[in-house]
């Protein structure tokens, strides 16, 4: 296994110091725009959760394009080319667009968003992402009346992504959201973490992150965002519809055939640390539960 340079780890300490500094001058500081959103104040205050270490966030990944072991994405993604990179927004829109990564970084200001990640396998992290709301990006296009869902398509490049040479999933990776889910301010376009550029193994140059859904919903290395009329079939639904539903909201009451979802292990804790209770919508119920009013979440899992 390759070793992580010490220089890669240190920013975390400086980073944490900086965070306490920001805290000490008060959360109302204009620099953290995210905290000024009413729903995020609560999310931050609840965040007694310790940030997961930079090392764990960047070496323990599910990213099957680079291999199915947790260490594979770190090992095999370092030479992955993310320049040039274009993202198209198309489908049921009046004005399909194609933006380069440079244009996106110039147009949208990334802010720090500390969000919890809950993997369907029963583990969780707390990650200081850098990003902005997907709704901002989607505001660049005008939806037609037929647009009901958003489909995300990840890059397909088996030459660079050795995992795509095997039919583990139906490549390219696809995910989807209902429009109202996609437009929710918590649905984040991620461009970085720990105040640094997004590492390749975490989905560089651009991924989405939906904190109230299981991790696999948050597609990485996105090249296409398509507005569609019918509910898209995600790669995991394709692989096993019995196990993975379209919604995949974090829900301790709906058990997965393999993993009980009632509890989770916090990444970075030692072996004697107990499991912690999983929260409905991963703790973001106050912000997102109204999206699902009247829905039977056991049926629409």
Partner 1 sequence: MKKYFKPSVFFLSLVPFLIIVYKIYFNQLGPEPVKEITHHTGEWSLIFICLTLLMSPLKSLTNLTIWINLRRMLGLFVFFYATLHMLTYVVIDYRLDFSSISKDILTKRFIFVGFASWLLLLPLALTSSKKAVLLLKDKWKKLHRLIYLIAILGVIHFLWLVKQDLTKPLIYTVIVFILLLLRFRFKKI
Backbone angles phi, psi at 287, to 5 degrees: -85, -35
Residues 173, 155: Cα–Cα separation, whole Å: 8
Residues 108, 61: Cα–Cα separation, whole Å: 27
Quote the least distance from Cβ 269 to partner 1, whole Å. Answer: 8
Rg (CA), the chain: 19
Structure tokens at 223: 């090249």
For partner 1, the closer CB: 123 or 132: 123
For partner 1, the closer CB: 238 or 300: 238
Quote the least distance from Cβ 299 to partner 1, whole Å. Answer: 18
For partner 1, the closer CB: 59 or 110: 59
DSSP label of 81: -
What are the residues binding partner 1 (CB under 8 A)? 56, 59-60, 64, 68, 70, 121, 123, 168-169, 239-240, 255, 257-260, 262-263, 265, 267-268, 270-272, 274-275
Quote the least distance from Cβ 124 to partner 1, whole Å. Answer: 11
For partner 1, the closer CB: 142 or 255: 255
For partner 1, the closer CB: 188 or 235: 235
Quote the least distance from Cβ 8 to partner 1, whole Å. Answer: 16
Burial of 285 (0-12, 13-18, 19+ CB in 10 A): middle
Quote the least distance from Cβ 250 to partner 1, whole Å. Answer: 17
Residues 152, 232: Cα–Cα separation, whole Å: 9
């Amino acid at each position: 296994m390759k070793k992580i340079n010490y220089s890669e780890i240190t920013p975390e300490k400086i980073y944490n110091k900086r965070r306490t500094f920001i805290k000490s001058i008060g959360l109302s500081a204009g620099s953290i725009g995210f905290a000024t959103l009413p729903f995020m104040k609560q999310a931050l205050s609840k965040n007694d959760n310790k940030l997961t270490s930079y090392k764990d966030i960047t070496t323990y990944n599910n990213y099957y394009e680079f291999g199915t072991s947790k260490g594979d994405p770190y090992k095999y993604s370092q030479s992955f080319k993310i320049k040039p990179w274009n993202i198209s927004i198309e489908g049921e829109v009046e004005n399909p667009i194609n933006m380069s990564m440079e244009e996106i970084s110039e147009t949208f200001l990334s802010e720090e968003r500390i969000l919890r990640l809950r993997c369907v396998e029963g583990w969780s992290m707390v990650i200081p992402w850098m990003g902005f709301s997907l709704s901002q990006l989607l505001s660049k296009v005008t939806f037609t009346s037929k647009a009901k869902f958003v489909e995300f398509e990840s890059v397909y490049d088996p030459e660079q992504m050795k995992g795509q040479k095997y039919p583990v999933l139906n490549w390219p990776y696809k995910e989807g959201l209902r429009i109202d889910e996609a437009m929710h301010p918590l649905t984040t376009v991620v461009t970085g973490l720990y105040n640094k550029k997004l590492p390749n193994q975490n989905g560089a140059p651009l991924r989405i992150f939906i904190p109230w859904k299981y991790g696999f919903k948050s597609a990485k290395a996105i090249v296409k965002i398509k507005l569609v009329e019918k509910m898209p079939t995600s790669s995991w639904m394709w692989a096993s519809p019995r196990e993975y539903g379209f919604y995949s909201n974090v829900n301790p009451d709906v058990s997965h055939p393999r993993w009980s979802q009632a509890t989770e292990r916090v990444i970075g804790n030692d072996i004697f640390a107990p499991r912690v209770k999983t929260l409905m919508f991963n703790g973001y119920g106050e912000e997102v539960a109204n999206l699902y009013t009247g829905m039977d979440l056991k049926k629409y899992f």
